[in-house]
Amino acid sequence: MTESGRRDQDRFEPVAVLVIVCSLALLAPLLGPLITGRVFVSNDLSWFHLPLRYLYQEALHAGDTVLWTPSIFAGFYLHGEGQIGLFHPFHQLLYRILPLAVGFNLELVSSYPVAFGGMFWFLHRLRFSRAAALFGAMLFAFSGFNLLHHHHMNMVAVVAHMPWLLAIADVLIVDERKQVRAVAFAGTALVMASQLLLGFPQGVWWNAIALGSFVVFRASETRRWRQLPNCAAAIAIGILLGGIQLLPTVDAAAHSVRMDVTRDFSLTLSLHPFNLFQLWSPYFFQRGAYSVGEPMLFHEFGIYSGAILQVALAWVWIRRGSLRERRALIAAATVFAAIALVLALGRYGGIVVLLTQLPVFESMRGSVRYIVLVHFTLAILAAITIDDLQAIADGRTTATTGLMTPLWIPAALGVATTVALNSHLLPYGQYTFASAAVAASGVAMVAAVTLLVFLAGRRRRWAIAALVVVTAVDLAQWGLTFVYREPARTIAEMTRAIPEAPPNPTESYASATDRGPYRSDLLVMRGYRLTSGYVGLYPATRYPLDGDVARRLSGTRWSFTPEGVRLPVEGSAARVRLVDDELHEDGGSARVSVDRPGKLVVEVDAPGRRILALTERFHPGWSATNDGAPLQMVRVSDDFLGCMVDGGVHQVTLTFKPRSFVYGWWVSAFGAVLLAGMFIAQIR
């Protein structure tokens, strides 16, 4: 597109304004809980994210370490698990100065405007008109992936970095000004570090795939291959900056059950090919999507993201003769989307099966999530479509003629499957396919979008505006209705029925089943220290976490039934005790005087050399001192914490500071120094 053509397109402001209005309308429902003092509670939000952010905020306000919490699994390396993003500057700011509900809402909602702004900048750098760039930004920010995964808040936050990473890398590759390139170099490193600090490595991998593919495409298109080493150096420094999170995550993963999973685990959540029916009939299935051999999770297997994506794919290939300046981008984006779709198929596609032969990939699951790359790439093709339709409306290119038969293929497939399968004309899917009336509403949306694109191609200017509105409605109907399947609630409403924990930490240890009203981690918000729990990286243990032995050794005092009833538990171990080599209690006394996250002080009176045994879970990051002198750490029953003490009266101090965090801190510090040096060198 010429510069004058771009300026001409930017003069057509009404479409750009309309896209902004529609985007704000899509954002508004996500702001509802923030305005009303509530929080979204579905799925992982109440099971995991909110409770652990409560512990995070409590530790920040009390001046405790945020590395370790005694409130999950009788002790857990919280920072290593990573999904709270404990050292991300944004999270530190939110949870230090704001109430929990406000900080939580802002963290969740912020990903959507961040994704929108990044996609707009990225597309505008690729010389899209303002309206087209805004339209693509709306499609990406409020995509089916981002809305259906709203409860995986750190995942969406990492994905929101994708267009920023590509846009700033584009500056680094294309711009000739040294000072601008220096800023872009620093920006690339900082964006890379930011996503690593959010603690979702799988999302970083998706972004890396997009970045690697884009920089190769852009360097090839602009003949600026010499900038690729500079881009790689910025990424490497970004990885160093993220060391404070990356190394603890590696540590936590190494001590988790993920190290013992089979290849079948990495192939779970593969996208069954039947789900491709959603692309032309989004409400084809009774339960929204289709799964075989594993739970049907709609937020995972729902791959629709607006009819415009499929229609735009057909449009740009039909019109490729008139889109000479976009031909390379159209071809590259189509190939990339096809590869990403095959990756999403997982066990059904083949590529992921090969990836599972590699280290790290064998412990990652959820190949269906590669669909985010499909949504991102097709949003680019939709932006090309809007640019082309505006050029037709302005008379800067020829209008379409004929029926444009390929454009109608998605709508035709939708009608055919509705008649043949949803109406049960053919004897299949009685308990799998939705009724014809339900499926017809989605097919009607696909047909409406197709018709509007067709009419806009005939110079019906109003059809472009209508297309924007219909697309926003399409996204809302698919994604926002899912977000609001479970109403937002206040934190008080969520926890009111839970009996408050005893004030003495020793008496507050409780376990809960994975069913019922108090499943997972919610009990910590009423002061309980859980000997059960729910996280992404479950600790590897000798005794099953939900077994009787683990409950006894962890000092469990209460058990919550699936019906939510709290029952006392008898016979559990004392918080601290002195035992001999056979783990038999053997005289003396031990009393905890300080019991804080990551720090324990125990007053000991031992009759001889003994093991000081605790109900805190063991991790090699713990150390102990006796009046300043280091003590030998030991495992008690393999899973729990202990240290050797000599006879006499002592004050034993145990602290948690794992090497992975210390080394990670130094790696990040080195990355910061290296970045400063590289920035100054490039400026000069």
CA dist 352 and 491 (Å) reads 41
206 and 99 in a single domain? The answer is: yes
Query: Residue 6 pLDDT more than 70?
Result: no
198 and 81 in a single domain? The answer is: yes
The DSSP symbol for 424 reads -
* Among 483, 508, 541, residue at a domain's last position: 483
Tens-digit pLDDT profile for residues 140-185: 999 999 999 999 999 999 999 999 999 999 999 999 898 999 999 9
Query: Residue 640 pLDDT more than 60?
Result: yes
Question: Residue 356 domain-assigned?
Answer: yes
- In this structure, of 5-14, 460-469, 581-590, the range with the lowest mean pLDDT score is 5-14
439 and 588 in a single domain? The answer is: no
Query: Residue 3 pLDDT more than 80?
Result: no
Task: Beginning with the edge strand found earlier in the chain, give each strand of the sheet holding 566-568 in spatial order.
Answer: 529-530, 509-512, 558-560, 566-568
460 and 600 in a single domain? The answer is: no
367 and 473 in a single domain? The answer is: yes
309 and 428 in a single domain? The answer is: yes
* Among 463, 483, 503, residue at a domain's last position: 483
Which has the closest alpha carbon to 368: 108, 196, 149? Answer: 149
Which has the closest alpha carbon to 167: 205, 230, 115, 112? Answer: 115
Burial readout 532-550 (b: 16 or more C-beta within 10 A, e: otherwise): bbbbbbebebebebeeeeb
Query: Residue 534 pLDDT more than 50?
Result: yes
User: Band of the pLDDT at 559, cuts 50, 70, 90?
Assistant: very high
C-beta neighbour count of 88 within 10 angstroms: 23
Question: Residue 641 domain-assigned?
Answer: yes
Output the domain CATH number for residue 629: 2.60.40
Question: Residue 565 domain-assigned?
Answer: no
Residue 340, domain extent = 3-36+77-483
In the chain, what percentage of residues exceed pLDDT 90?
A: 85
Query: Residue 203 pLDDT more than 50?
Result: yes
Which has the closest alpha carbon to 404: 456, 465, 333, 445? Answer: 456
The DSSP symbol for 428 reads -
24 and 149 in a single domain? The answer is: yes
Cβ-Cβ contacts under 8 Å for 146 (sequence gap 6 or more): 111, 112, 115, 140, 156, 159, 160, 372, 479
Tens-digit pLDDT profile for residues 29-56: 999 999 999 999 999 999 999 999 999 9
User: Band of the pLDDT at 357, cuts 50, 70, 90?
Assistant: confident
Strands 576-579 and 610-617: antiparallel
Question: Residue 129 domain-assigned?
Answer: yes
Question: Residue 48 domain-assigned?
Answer: no
Distances (CA, A) of 487 to 29, 288, 472: 12, 20, 22
Question: Residue 460 domain-assigned?
Answer: yes
User: What pLDDT, on the 0 to 100 scale, is given for residue 19?
Assistant: 97
Which has the closest alpha carbon to 117: 43, 180, 191? Answer: 191
In this structure, the dihedral spanned by the alpha carbons of residues 148, 150, 153 and 155, taken in order and rounded to 10 degrees, is 20
Query: Residue 12 pLDDT more than 70?
Result: no
SS (H, E, C) 372-398: HHHHHHHHHHHHHHHHHHHHHHCCCCC
Which has the closest alpha carbon to 123: 138, 144, 142? Answer: 138
Query: Residue 8 pLDDT more than 50?
Result: no
* Among 483, 499, 517, residue at a domain's last position: 483
Strands 576-579 and 622-626: unpaired
User: What pLDDT, on the 0 to 100 scale, is given for residue 1?
Assistant: 47
349 and 203 in a single domain? The answer is: yes
CA dist 366 and 267 (Å) reads 7
Strands 529-530 and 509-512: parallel
202 and 330 in a single domain? The answer is: yes
The rounded mean pLDDT for the chain is 93
Exposure of 523 in the CB half-sphere (CA atoms within 13 A): 32
User: What pLDDT, on the 0 to 100 scale, is given for residue 362?
Assistant: 74
579 and 590 Cβ atoms separated by less than 8 Å: no
Triad 679, 682, 683: Cα angle to 5°: 85
178 and 310 in a single domain? The answer is: yes
User: What pLDDT, on the 0 to 100 scale, is given for residue 446?
Assistant: 97
Distances (CA, A) of 188 to 139, 195, 233, 674: 24, 11, 10, 14
User: What pLDDT, on the 0 to 100 scale, is given for residue 460?
Assistant: 93
User: What pLDDT, on the 0 to 100 scale, is given for residue 509?
Assistant: 96
Question: Residue 120 domain-assigned?
Answer: yes
Burial tier of 223 (Cβ tally within 10 Å: 0-12, 13-18, 19+)? exposed
Number of structural domains, the chain?
2
Token pair recorded at residue 340: 């990403």
The DSSP symbol for 515 reads S
User: What pLDDT, on the 0 to 100 scale, is given for residue 2?
Assistant: 47
Question: Residue 64 domain-assigned?
Answer: no
E strand or H helix at 214: helix 201-222
Tens-digit pLDDT profile for residues 247-292: 999 999 999 988 777 778 888 899 999 999 999 999 999 999 999 9
Tens-digit pLDDT profile for residues 46-101: 999 999 999 999 999 999 999 999 999 999 999 999 999 999 999 999 999 999 99
CA dist 296 and 302 (Å) reads 10
